[in-house]
């Protein structure tokens, strides 16, 4: 059943009430655009709760299983694709340490689905629960403000030292200078064992700091994702595809003039531009395999977008999906996203696996949804905290593109810049 209501409250306040109400369920997917002006999506926010059906699997034939589930369900489904689905797409393996133990793929069909758009709340409930809409709306509106509680400090440890990181970047540079690859995204993990957190509280704190266009709070059983992602992986609307890779990062400054100067320097930095252009070429190549001939275009190249924590270079690549290509195939043929791998893609992924110490799992994967008609929208899981509430293992990873012009010291500094907001909320600063 589908019905809409107007809420007579501040939109931000109402979203807080809606998320607090939704947190009681075992399965939660919360997607928030934070009213960002970047072409973010169809809705200001989405809450999907209480699984009616679900699919959870490892990487073996994962995309085939997802295709069958998506086509059979023919409904809204929400979930994630982990980076290690690369092993389903290509003849690759993942053998690095994994403290999180998330499934490689997990999607669910919600019983209750709520959208916020244009100051209206829209309910899409399965028939079996549609008699609960009025009561749920009343409960949401009547939710009382939650009192702030003191968060426990979580001390994170780098999986590798600064010197080890720099040595590994040097190894990657040797691969680049030999011509094995042109660029690769190298990441490092920060982790905490025996961590006790309120995942929703951490999400709210992180979102308050970052307010990105692709924020996600996802809880599936004991698997929690707290994401402040600024990056879209791939969106499909009708036949139109949109990918918006990010490559190129610079710090913000409190002084307005200095901040504008930093953004201008990023826009004209040849190293940052070359990183972005190489990934744009990779995205164009990926999309060309599933697109109508001649339809792949670069609508924006290396445009500076400013977020609360950083400036970023973002490009927008569009295409039209070729006739007869199922929605899941558009994902399979472009996964993992080029901004988190490198070029050439397969060689880069092999070198990444050899040099990194941790299994990426959901980090640098994607979270999003499919509509009943087969449209979809997925982010890139970066600037994100992952938490397994069963074994109380917490993890976040950061990284950057390594090219021939990379300086290991500066690459390490960029990692710390990207980790800043996550460390703040865990340190309760």
Per-residue pLDDT tens, the chain, 429 aa: give them: 677 777 656 778 889 999 999 999 999 999 999 987 655 568 899 999 999 999 999 999 999 999 999 999 999 999 999 999 999 999 999 999 999 999 999 999 999 999 998 878 999 999 999 999 999 999 999 998 776 677 889 999 999 999 999 999 999 999 999 999 999 999 999 999 999 999 999 999 999 999 999 999 999 999 999 999 999 999 999 999 999 999 999 999 999 999 999 999 999 999 999 999 999 999 999 999 999 999 999 999 999 999 988 999 999 999 999 999 999 999 999 999 999 999 999 999 999 999 999 999 999 999 999 999 999 999 999 999 999 999 999 999 999 999 999 999 999 999 999 999 999 999 975
How many domains does the chain divide into?
1
For residue 149, the model assigns a pLDDT of 72
- Residue 114 belongs to a domain with what CATH number? 3.60.120.10
Give which of 13, 399, 391, 354 is closest to 224, Cα–Cα.
Answer: 391
- CA quadruple 178, 179, 183, 186: dihedral sign: negative
CA distances to 29, 68, 287, 323, 333 from 293, in Å: 36, 27, 10, 11, 16
Catalytic annotation, residues: 231, 247
374-397 CB burial, b ≥16 within 10 A, e <16: bbbbbbbbbbbbbbbbeeebbbbb
Domain limits for position 38: 2-427
Token couple for 337: 């996203």
| 246 Cβ contact partners less than 8 Å away, ≥ 6 residues apart | 230, 231, 312, 313, 314, 339, 380
| 416 Cβ contact partners less than 8 Å away, ≥ 6 residues apart | 398
Helix (H) or strand (E) holding 20, with range, is helix 11-22
Q: Check if the beta carbon of residue 284 is closer than 8 Å to that of residue 217.
A: no
Helix (H) or strand (E) holding 417, with range, is helix 408-427
**Residues for the chain: how many in total?**
429
Cα–Cα–Cα angle for 124, 237, 62, rounded to 5 degrees: 80
User: Which long-range contacts does 264-273 make (Cβ < 8 Å, 24+ apart)?
Assistant: 266/304, 266/311, 266/313, 267/302, 267/304, 267/313, 270/405, 271/403, 271/405, 271/406, 272/247, 272/248, 272/302, 272/313, 273/248, 273/302, 273/313
CA distances to 282, 283, 340 from 344, in Å: 8, 11, 12
For residue 426, the model assigns a pLDDT of 96
For residue 40, the model assigns a pLDDT of 55
For residue 145, the model assigns a pLDDT of 78
- CA quadruple 226, 232, 233, 237: dihedral sign: positive
Separation CA 312–CA 301 (nearest Å):
12
188-197 CB burial, b ≥16 within 10 A, e <16: bbbbbeebeb
Cα–Cα–Cα angle for 40, 44, 45, rounded to 5 degrees: 110
Give which of 228, 266, 161 is closest to 424, Cα–Cα.
Answer: 228
Provide the 10 A C-beta neighbour count for residue 92.
Answer: 16
Token couple for 218: 């996802």
Provide the 10 A C-beta neighbour count for residue 171.
Answer: 14
């Amino acid at each position: 059943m589908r019905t809409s209501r107007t809420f007579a409250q501040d939109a931000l306040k109402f979203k807080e009430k809606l998320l607090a109400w939704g947190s009681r369920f075992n399965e939660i997917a919360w997607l928030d655009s934070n009213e960002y002006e970047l072409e973010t999506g169809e809705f200001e926010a989405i809450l999907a709760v209480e699984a009616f059906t679900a699919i959870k699997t490892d990487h073996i034939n994962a995309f085939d299983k997802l295709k069958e589930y998506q086509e059979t369900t023919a409904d809204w489904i929400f979930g994630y694709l982990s980076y290690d689905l690369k092993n389903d797409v290509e003849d690759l393996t993942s053998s690095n340490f994994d403290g999180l133990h998330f499934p490689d793929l997990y999607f669910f069909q919600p019983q209750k689905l709520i959208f916020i758009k244009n100051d209206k709340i829209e309910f899409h409930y399965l028939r079996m629960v549609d008699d609960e809409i009025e009561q749920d709306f009343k409960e949401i509106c009547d939710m009382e403000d939650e009192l702030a509680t003191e968060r426990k400090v979580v001390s994170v440890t780098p999986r590798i030292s600064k010197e080890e990181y720099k040595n590994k970047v040097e190894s990657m540079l040797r691969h680049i200078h030999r011509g094995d690859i042109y660029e690769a995204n190298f990441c490092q993990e920060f982790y905490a064992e025996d961590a006790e957190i309120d995942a929703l509280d951490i999400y709210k704190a992180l979102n308050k700091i970052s307010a990105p266009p692709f924020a996600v709070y996802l809880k599936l059983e004991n698997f929690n994702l707290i994401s402040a992602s600024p990056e879209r992986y791939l969106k499909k609307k009708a036949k139109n595809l949109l990918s918006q890779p990010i490559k190129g990062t610079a710090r913000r400054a409190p002084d307005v003039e200095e901040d504008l100067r930093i953004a201008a320097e990023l826009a004209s930095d040849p190293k940052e531009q070359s990183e972005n252009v190489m990934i744009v070429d990779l995205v164009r190549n990926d999309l060309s395999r599933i697109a109508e001939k001649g339809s792949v275009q670069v609508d924006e190249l290396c445009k500076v977008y400013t977020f609360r924590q950083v400036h970023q270079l973002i490009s927008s690549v569009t295409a039209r999906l070729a006739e007869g290509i199922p929605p899941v195939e558009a994902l399979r043929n472009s996964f993992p996203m080029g901004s988190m791998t490198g070029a050439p893609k397969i060689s880069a992924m092999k070198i990444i696996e050899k040099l990194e110490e941790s299994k990426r799992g959901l980090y640098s994967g994607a979270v999003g949804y499919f509509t009943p008609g087969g449209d979809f929208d997925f982010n890139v899981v970066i600037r994100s905290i992952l938490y397994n509430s069963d074994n109380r293992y917490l993890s976040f990873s950061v990284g950057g593109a390594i090219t021939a012009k990379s300086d290991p010291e500066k690459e390490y500094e960029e990692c710390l810049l990207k980790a800043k907001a996550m460390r703040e909320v865990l340190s309760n600063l």
